[in-house]
């Protein structure tokens, strides 16, 4: 039967004590690193937020301008369309009320009855 025996060079308490001593010695540096990292993340998030808000408000501003241009153009189009309808109505009234002689063609239609049973053949 094999047995395992752990014989440390230093005792565990000395190793743990040295670890605590190092941690306490660099405790201020570690805390500064934690605070610095937190401040960096906070500043980064604020800058990203400001950038995105600026972009969205800028895009919204230009979108509002383009919508105003579109509504202005559509309003001008409606005015033009109304004028065109007025011109068409004026022309229609002119055609309806003209006293010019019109040549009216009177066609006498003749009704031709085709027999129901007709045999058609192809002639060569």
Helix (H) or strand (E) holding 29: helix 27-96
Q: pLDDT class for 47, splitting at 50, 70, 90?
A: very high
Task: Provide the Cα torsion 11, 13, 19, 25; round to 10°.
Answer: -120
Q: Is the pLDDT of residue 18 over 60?
A: yes
DSSP state for residue 24 in the 8-state scheme:
H
Please report, for residues 67, 89, 106, the alpha-carbon distance to residue 81 in angstroms, rounded to integers and kept in the order given. Answer: 21, 12, 38
Please report, for residues 16, 71, 106, 108, the alpha-carbon distance to residue 102 in angstroms, rounded to integers and kept in the order given. Answer: 119, 46, 12, 19
pLDDT in tens, 79-107: 888 888 887 887 777 667 766 644 444 54
């Amino acid at each position: 039967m094999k047995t395992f025996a752990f014989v440390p060079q230093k005792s565990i308490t000395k190793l743990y004590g040295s670890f605590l001593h190092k941690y306490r010695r660099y405790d201020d540096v570690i805390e500064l690193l934690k605070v610095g990292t937190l401040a960096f993340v906070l500043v980064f998030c604020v800058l990203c937020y400001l950038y995105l808000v600026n972009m969205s408000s800028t895009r919204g501003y230009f979108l509002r301008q383009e919508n105003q241009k579109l509504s202005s153009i559509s309003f001008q189009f409606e005015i033009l369309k109304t004028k065109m309808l007025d011109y068409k109505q004026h022309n229609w009234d002119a055609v309806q009320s003209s006293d010019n002689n019109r040549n009216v063609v009177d066609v006498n239609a003749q009704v031709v009855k085709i027999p129901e049973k007709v045999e058609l053949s192809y002639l060569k």
